Amino acid sequence: MDLYNLTTVTQFILLRLSDLPEVRYPLFVALLIIYQITLVGNGAIILAITIEQKLHTPMYFLLANLSLLDIFCPSTTVPKMLQNLLTEDHSISFVGCALQLYFLVALLATEVFLLAVMAYDRYVAICFPLRYTLIMSHIRCAQLLTGTWAAGFLNSLLHTMTTISLSFCKSNRVDQYYCDVPPVVALSCSSTYMAEMVLLVVGGVFGTSAFLITLISYLYIISTILKIRSAEGKRKAFSTCASHLTVVCLFYGTVIFNYIRPSSSKHSPARDRLISMLYGVMTPMLNPLIYSLRNTEVKGALRRLLCF
């Protein structure tokens, strides 16, 4: 039920993936399977890196953090979406919405920063192989990881505070399957200028900076690889960053589709929402598959883990 002419909204109504029973239950099963594969796949990578002594290097510590994010991120949205598919009540409390928004933005921002750090790590490994252990020491890796998580969660705190400080008195129907900044801000009956400017300026500065670090790192990496004379040397150098480059393309593809892509009247908003949701859920599931298939060390560690 919509809430009108009220100064305080106590709950929001989320969209349900489908209201048709013949579609709802297959969607529930598919989403549940994807979520379980995501948890098992990323959990296996974390366990393999933890157990395998030779994987205790900065590159794999960063990968373990990526897998941790790929467990946490869908866990902020998928359980609620699964519940909404089975029940008639698809509301979420104001506090619940604020928490979901906070953790979703925090984890996504942390992943943006982490991908930039991982790109820098590959840049040092390929462009300065003899100085790699000196530059990317365990202490430096820990400092970068701490900064990455802190920046992501502080960034989200700012966005969340500017969003929940708005007045909501028009409607409480969120035009999305979960709480996110743009659809929640759109419900406000007060001025959204500050929230939109914070999203544009802070999100733009941090997001663009992380993207540029990733892009410039790979430009240097590609330039260095092309200078290698032997085909075997090029293949080995490229294989060390191929998995990460694939993950970067998948992640930024999701971000562009969800937040940057211009809207078009030719496409159904409902279809766009469904595609963006599936894209966001599928990416964390695919990441461990990409690393396990393309990285021989991870593949070997997982094989030994399964045989243990």
Calculate the alpha carbon distances from 307 to 49, 300, 303, 304 in Å: 15, 11, 6, 5
Q: How much is the pTM?
A: 0.90
For the chain, domains (ranges, CATH) are 22-307 (1.20.1070.10)
pLDDT digits 0-9 by tens, 260-274 = 665 554 556 666 677
- HEC letters along 112-137: HHHHHHHHHHHHHHHHCHHHHHHHCC
pLDDT digits 0-9 by tens, 191-214 = 888 888 988 898 889 989 999 999
pLDDT digits 0-9 by tens, 223-278 = 999 888 888 888 888 887 888 888 888 888 777 766 666 555 455 666 667 767 77
* pLDDT value of position 1: 40
* pLDDT value of position 2: 46
Task: Give the contacts of 263 (CB within 8 A, at least 6 positions apart).
Answer: 272
* pLDDT value of position 223: 92
CA–CA separation, 56 vs 294, rounded Å? 19
* pLDDT value of position 38: 95
Calculate the alpha carbon distances from 51 to 45, 56, 170, 304 in Å: 10, 9, 53, 10
Q: Where are the alpha helices (DSSP H) in 165-295?
A: 181-185, 193-227, 231-255, 269-294
* pLDDT value of position 261: 60
* pLDDT value of position 271: 66
